[in-house]
């Protein structure tokens, strides 16, 4: 089990897996998450402020505050206000369960931040079942000052998984595009932030449009489309170093890049000289280009099946846009996948591979829907008018997407069971095209 | 802003043609026909010059100027459609003839879509619209070397707003002379 092995590798590997994206610029626009609709009765819990055992009066980072914010923003938990706490235990021996039973919390989290050496901390926490009066789990992890934010997300992830059975995504990242008017110029930025919108870093910055970011499976690189030079090109940029390669700048469209599950190939859309808009596959090591579709219609927005054997894409070969599937080899025939409604586009496959998220038009509204590719059954998840760009969280439990509110581009997320809706508003500018990162590598 | 600069430049070429030695400017007409006026003529009025005397002011229509068919630089499209509407036939014919008779003229066809639906599919729609305009201009005698295309999809709307009027103005191909 993941949780059991967690204990042994955690301290040793935390350093490695907490290394994030390098700081290039600090983004001036942050995101703010707000729950629009949560589960009917979020689970009440208490996260006691972690005790500080070190020099000075307080810890360099509010670990328990971020753990509480993460769990609260998930919509599944209701952490109690710390002002309502009758006692503030930090050691198991200090916990008096009746204190917590009387305020009706189901779970209790206590912890400590210990300064081991200069810029070296150990975070210890324990999760208790209040009713049963017993510890569920306890963990210890180490971090430097700059890693304490990521360590806090990791604590929240472990608690979330223990209580829901679903791997947490608080420690993951999102990439998105922002657009802002600055004087008489528009500024397009490609931004990577933590999943909670904090810690935003500008990856690319241009007066011309940036589009279609896509993560490499190892989470180290982003592919995207840039119109710099008034021509579309596809770039792959390594996040840690900022170095980037232009991998496609052919005549016409260079669009919709997506990495294959093994990270060695890129599916992309090209129109080339003839103007036929088709899906191609580019081998990143050899630069060999393979054409996967050949049709007068628009074929675009490819996504890979989880085994890398086939590609799903949008095509309007039957009139309106619908999703098709084609084996990832030359000369294979494409088969139609979606049939419900007259507009199904931009497919993304769930991490389990069993469902598709698409942009689905219903009564003139563009909404995010889940499609079962075997039965064609379509379930509309979002409620907006211009929702687009769905992207699964790596745990498959959430979908982040772009929406509009009062004519402004915002991000939103919905749980795949449709119960929890969140709005993620940008403080400045318009935001769109969110893509959820893979899990951090272990 | 860049476009108005470009138009000023084109107009400058035309004006230079008016007063100077027309042999050095093959694409500029310097003689006037009777009745040439500042508002230009029909589709055939891209250059004037019947050789008739008269001392009238010389006018040569250039893309984006005046109110003839060449003055229009934007073609609009129906929702989710990429076919050229018939009301743009004469305008595109004028541009095709202009390009055919001005071999040095270059034009970039910038295709756009309204904001509805997915973004890369809209890039596809914009590209097909630009390609549709390209085909018409080629039929009218323009050469492939004169025509470039790019699709911005919904990334560069002409107007902001979420109503049908805004959508209509954003579903377009812009002819950008260089």
pLDDT in tens, B55-68: 556 566 788 888 88
- The whole-number pLDDT of residue A12 equals 35
> Using one digit for the tens of pLDDT, what is the confidence trace for A266-287?
999 999 988 899 999 999 999 9
Total count of domains within chain B: 2
The alpha carbon of residue B139 is apart from the nearest alpha carbon of chain A, in Å, by: 16
Q: Are B92 and B159 part of one and the same domain?
A: yes
**B62, B89, B110: which is the final residue of a domain?**
B62
Residue A118 sits at φ, ψ, to 5 deg, of -60, 125
User: What average pLDDT score do residues A151-180 get?
Assistant: 96
Q: Are B97 and B129 in contact (CB under 8 A)?
A: no
- CATH architecture classification, A173-436: 6 Propeller (2.120)
Q: For A300, name the nearest residue in chain B, comparing CA atoms only.
A: B121
Q: For B115, name the nearest residue in chain A, comparing CA atoms only.
A: A386
- The whole-number pLDDT of residue B56 equals 59
- The whole-number pLDDT of residue A17 equals 32
User: What average pLDDT score do residues B127-131 get?
Assistant: 97
The full 3-state SS of A233-277, as one line of letters, equals EEEEEECCCCCEEEEECCCCCEEEEEECCCCCEEEEEECCCCCCC
Q: Which of A384, A391, A29 is nearest to A205 (CA)?
A: A29
Residue A167 sits at φ, ψ, to 5 deg, of -65, 135
Domains in chain A: boundaries: 41-164, 173-436
Q: Does B41 touch chain A (CB under 8 A)?
A: no
User: What average pLDDT score do residues B147-173 get?
Assistant: 95
Q: Are B167 and B113 part of one and the same domain?
A: yes
Q: Are B89 and B151 part of one and the same domain?
A: yes
Distances in whole angstroms, Cα of residue A115 to Cα of each of A166, A394, B40: 31, 33, 83
User: What average pLDDT score do residues A224-242 get?
Assistant: 96
* Domain A41-164: assigned CATH number: 3.40.50.10070
**Which CATH number do you get for residue B144?**
3.30.1330.60
Model's pTM, two decimal places?
0.84
- The whole-number pLDDT of residue B45 equals 35
Q: Do A346 and B121 touch (CB under 8 A)?
A: yes
- The whole-number pLDDT of residue A15 equals 31
Q: Are B35 and B83 part of one and the same domain?
A: no
- The whole-number pLDDT of residue B4 equals 46
DSSP string, chain B: -HHHHHHHHHHHHHHHHHHS-GGG-TT------TT--TT--STTTTS--------PPP----TTSSSSGGG--EEE--TT--SPPGGGHHHHHHHHHHHHH-TT--EEEEEE--SSS-HHHHHHHHHHHHHHHHHHHHHTT--GGGEEEEEEETSS-SS--SSHHHHHHHSEEEEEE-
- The whole-number pLDDT of residue B116 equals 95
- The whole-number pLDDT of residue A40 equals 74
Q: In percent, how much of chain A has pLDDT > 70?
A: 93
On whether residue B114 sits in a domain, the answer given is yes
Render the burial of B24-54: b for 16+ CB within 10 Å, e for the rest.
eeebbbbbbbeebeeebbebebbbbeeeeee
- The whole-number pLDDT of residue B58 equals 57
Q: Which of A180, A214, A275 to mutate to test the interface with B (most CBs of B within 10 A)?
A: A275
Q: Does B121 touch chain A (CB under 8 A)?
A: yes
| Cα–chain center distance at B26 | 20
Confidence check: pLDDT of A123 > 50: yes
Q: Are A390 and A301 in contact (CB under 8 A)?
A: no
> Using one digit for the tens of pLDDT, what is the confidence trace for A131-147?
999 999 999 999 999 99
Structure tokens at A86: 């009758």
- The whole-number pLDDT of residue B54 equals 52
On whether residue B67 sits in a domain, the answer given is no
On whether residue B128 sits in a domain, the answer given is yes
For residue A209, the chain B residues in CB contact (below 8 A) are 152, 155-156
Q: Do B117 and A407 touch (CB under 8 A)?
A: no
Size of interface A-B (CB pairs under 8 A): 93
- The whole-number pLDDT of residue A41 equals 86
The alpha carbon of residue B72 is apart from the nearest alpha carbon of chain A, in Å, by: 22
Is the dihedral angle over the CA atoms B149, B155, B160, B165 positive or is it negative?
Answer: positive
- The whole-number pLDDT of residue A233 equals 98
For residue A275, the chain B residues in CB contact (below 8 A) are 127-128, 131, 134, 149
What band does A428 get if pLDDT is binned at 50, 70 and 90? confident
Which value, to the nearest 10 degrees, does the dihedral of the CA atoms of residues B54, B60, B66, B69 take?
Answer: 110
On whether residue B7 sits in a domain, the answer given is yes
Q: Are B8 and B37 part of one and the same domain?
A: yes
Which has the minimum average pLDDT: A143-157, A335-349, B66-80, B130-144? Answer: B66-80
What ipTM does this complex have?
0.89
Confidence check: pLDDT of B7 > 70: no
Q: Are B55 and B76 part of one and the same domain?
A: no
The alpha carbon of residue B144 is apart from the nearest alpha carbon of chain A, in Å, by: 10
Q: Are B79 and B52 part of one and the same domain?
A: no
- The whole-number pLDDT of residue B10 equals 41
Structure tokens at A52: 């500080």
Other Cβ atoms less than 10 A from the Cβ of A262: the count is 9
Q: Does B149 touch chain A (CB under 8 A)?
A: yes
> Using one digit for the tens of pLDDT, what is the confidence trace for A321-356?
999 999 999 989 999 999 999 999 999 999 999 999
Average pLDDT, chain A: 91
User: What average pLDDT score do residues A214-237 get?
Assistant: 97
- The whole-number pLDDT of residue A441 equals 73
Q: Are B137 and B163 part of one and the same domain?
A: yes
State how far the Cα of A274 lies from the Cα of A288, in Å rounded to an integer. 20
Q: Are B115 and B167 in contact (CB under 8 A)?
A: yes
Q: Does B124 touch chain A (CB under 8 A)?
A: yes
Residue A197 sits at φ, ψ, to 5 deg, of 90, -10
Structure tokens at B143: 């050469």
List of residues 6+ apart from B69 with CB closer than 8 A: B42, B43, B90, B91, B93, B94, B95
Confidence check: pLDDT of A412 > 90: yes
Distances in whole angstroms, Cα of residue B49 to Cα of each of A97, B20, B30, B109, B166: 100, 15, 7, 29, 41
Confidence check: pLDDT of A399 > 90: yes
- The whole-number pLDDT of residue A32 equals 76
On whether residue B49 sits in a domain, the answer given is yes
- The whole-number pLDDT of residue A33 equals 74
Q: Does A255 touch chain B (CB under 8 A)?
A: yes
Q: Are B99 and B127 part of one and the same domain?
A: yes
For residue A359, the chain B residues in CB contact (below 8 A) are 117-118
Structure tokens at A14: 């935390």
- The whole-number pLDDT of residue A1 equals 35
> Using one digit for the tens of pLDDT, what is the confidence trace for A350-366?
999 999 999 999 999 99
User: What average pLDDT score do residues B118-127 get?
Assistant: 98
**What domain range includes position B43?**
1-62
For residue B125, the chain A residues in CB contact (below 8 A) are 298
Q: Are A32 and A197 in contact (CB under 8 A)?
A: yes
**B40, B62, B84: which is the final residue of a domain?**
B62
Strand ranges for A10-161 from DSSP E: 31-37, 43-47, 51-53, 77-79, 107-117, 120-129, 134-143
- The whole-number pLDDT of residue A429 equals 85
């Amino acid at each position: 089990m993941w949780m059991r092995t967690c204990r042994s590798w955690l301290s040793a590997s935390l350093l490695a897996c907490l290394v994030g994206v390098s700081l290039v610029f600090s983004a001036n626009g942050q995101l703010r998450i707000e729950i629009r609709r949560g589960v009917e009765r979020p689970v009440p819990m208490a996260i006691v402020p972690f005790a500080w055992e070190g020099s000075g009066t307080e810890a360099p980072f509010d670990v328990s505050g971020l753990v509480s914010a993460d769990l609260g923003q998930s919509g599944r938990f209701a952490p109690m206000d710390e002002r309502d706490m009758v006692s503030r235990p930090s050691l198991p021996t200090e916990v008096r369960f009746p204190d917590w039973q009387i305020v009706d919390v189901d779970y209790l989290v206590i912890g400590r931040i210990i300064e081991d050496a200069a810029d070296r901390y150990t975070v210890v926490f324990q999760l208790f079942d209040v009713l049963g009066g017993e510890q569920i789990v306890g963990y210890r992890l180490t971090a430097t000052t700059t890693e304490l934010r990521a360590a806090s997300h990791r604590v929240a992830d472990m608690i979330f998984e223990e209580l829901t059975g679903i791997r947490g995504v608080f420690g993951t990242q999102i990439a998105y595009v922002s657009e802002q008017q600055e004087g008489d110029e528009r500024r397009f930025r490609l931004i990577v932030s933590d999943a909670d919108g904090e810690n935003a870093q500008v990856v690319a910055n241009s007066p011309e449009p940036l589009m279609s970011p896509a993560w490499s499976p190892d989470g180290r690189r982003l592919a995207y489309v840039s119109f710099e030079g008034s021509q579309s090109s596809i770039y792959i940029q390594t996040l840690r170093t900022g170095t980037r390669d232009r991998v496609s700048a052919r005549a016409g469209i260079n669009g919709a890049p997506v990495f294959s599950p093994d990270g060695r190939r890129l599916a992309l859309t090209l129109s080339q000289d003839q103007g036929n808009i088709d899906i191609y596959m580019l081998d990143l090591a050899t630069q060999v280009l393979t054409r996967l579709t050949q049709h007068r219609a628009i074929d675009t927005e490819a996504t890979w099946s989880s085994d890398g054997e086939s590609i799903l894409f949008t095509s309007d070969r039957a009139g309106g846009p619908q999703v098709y599937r084609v084996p990832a080899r030359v000369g294979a025939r494409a088969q139609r996948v979606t049939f419900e409604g007259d507009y199904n586009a931009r497919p993304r496959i769930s991490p389990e591979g069993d469902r598709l998220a698409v942009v689905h038009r219903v009564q003139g509204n563009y909404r995010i829907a889940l499609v079962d590719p075997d039965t064609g059954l379509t379930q509309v998840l979002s409620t907006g008018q211009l929702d687009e760009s769905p992207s699964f969280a790596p745990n498959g439990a959430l979908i982040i997407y772009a929406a509009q509110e009062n004519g402004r581009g915002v991000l939103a997320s919905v749980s795949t069971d449709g119960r929890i809706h969140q709005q993620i508003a940008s403080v400045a500018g318009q935001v769109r095209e969110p893509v959820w990162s893979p899990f951090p590598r272990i | 802003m860049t476009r108005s600069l470009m138009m000023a430049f084109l107009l400058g070429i035309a004006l230079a043609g008016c007063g100077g030695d027309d042999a050095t400017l093959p694409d500029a007409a310097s003689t006037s026909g009777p009745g040439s006026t500042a508002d230009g003529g029909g589709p055939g009025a891209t250059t004037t010059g019947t050789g008739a005397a008269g001392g009238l002011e010389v006018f040569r229509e250039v893309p984006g100027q005046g109110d003839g068919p060449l003055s229009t630089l934007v073609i609009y499209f129906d929702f989710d459609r990429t076919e050229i509407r018939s009301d743009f036939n004469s305008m595109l014919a004028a541009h095709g003839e202009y390009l055919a008779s001005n071999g040095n003229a270059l034009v970039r066809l910038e295709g756009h879509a309204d904001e509805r639906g997915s973004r890369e599919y809209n890039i596809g729609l914009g590209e097909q619209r630009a390609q549709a305009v390209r085909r018409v201009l080629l039929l009218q005698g323009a050469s492939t070397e004169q025509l470039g295309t790019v699709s911005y999809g919904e990334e560069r709307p002409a107007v902001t707003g979420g109503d049908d009027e805004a959508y209509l103005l954003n579903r377009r191909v812009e002819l950008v002379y260089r």
